[in-house]
Amino acid sequence: MIKKYFIICFLICVSCTKQMQFSEEFHCKPSSLEYLETVKDVRNAFSISIPKNWNINLYEDALQSSIFTADTTKQLTETFLIDVSYIKNNLQFDDLFKLKIEQENLNKNLIQKKAKEVTIIEKPAYLVISKGQKSSLLYQKLQAFIKINQKHFILAKVEIYGDSLVENRLCQAISLIEKIKITQQ
């Protein structure tokens, strides 16, 4: 009986760790974003909860469906931009893939600060954070490649401009990414 209890407790702890791994990576506290609404992509492949007053652009082509959103009531250096795309393509987190991402960021004059395999929305993911300058502003970019299955993945990109409250804005963006719901698998 005690052995069964121990196994159940262990499994609960392991599953909680997987769900929390992404936000814990950045020592994020619960988000202060309020008045969220659920927005679905054009193909109804995924949805994301975002603040009601944010501007939303939907995009679709043969290989992807995207939701791009930002708080346009604030200055660019006080908010963040988030672009979530459901992409039809196989994705492997091998050395070639990781090198390609790093090279693409270097070509954009971004230096990779962090790259790590994590769990996001209970799926395997590869997280990259890069830093540089864009339009004379300090700039950070978070890329989260989330493998849905053998044929699809989600790419969640966050852009943060300026140097004010960067960690806070990053944590707010992470809290939105963690609210992604996959409707097509």
Which of 5-9, 164-168, 181-185 holds the top average pLDDT?
164-168
Segment holding 175, helix H or strand E: helix 166-177
pLDDT tens digits along 112-163: 999 999 999 999 999 999 999 988 899 999 999 999 999 999 999 999 999 8
Q: Global pTM?
A: 0.84
pLDDT score of 4 more than 50: no
2-24 and 166-177 helices, crossing angle to 10°: 130
Q: Which residues contact 85 (CB under 8 A, 6 or more apart)?
A: 59, 64, 65, 66, 67, 154, 155, 156, 157
The whole-number average pLDDT for the span 34-45 is: 92
Residue 171 or residue 68, greater confidence: 68
Read off the pLDDT band of 2 (50, 70, 90): low
123 near 147, Cβ under 8 Å? Answer: yes
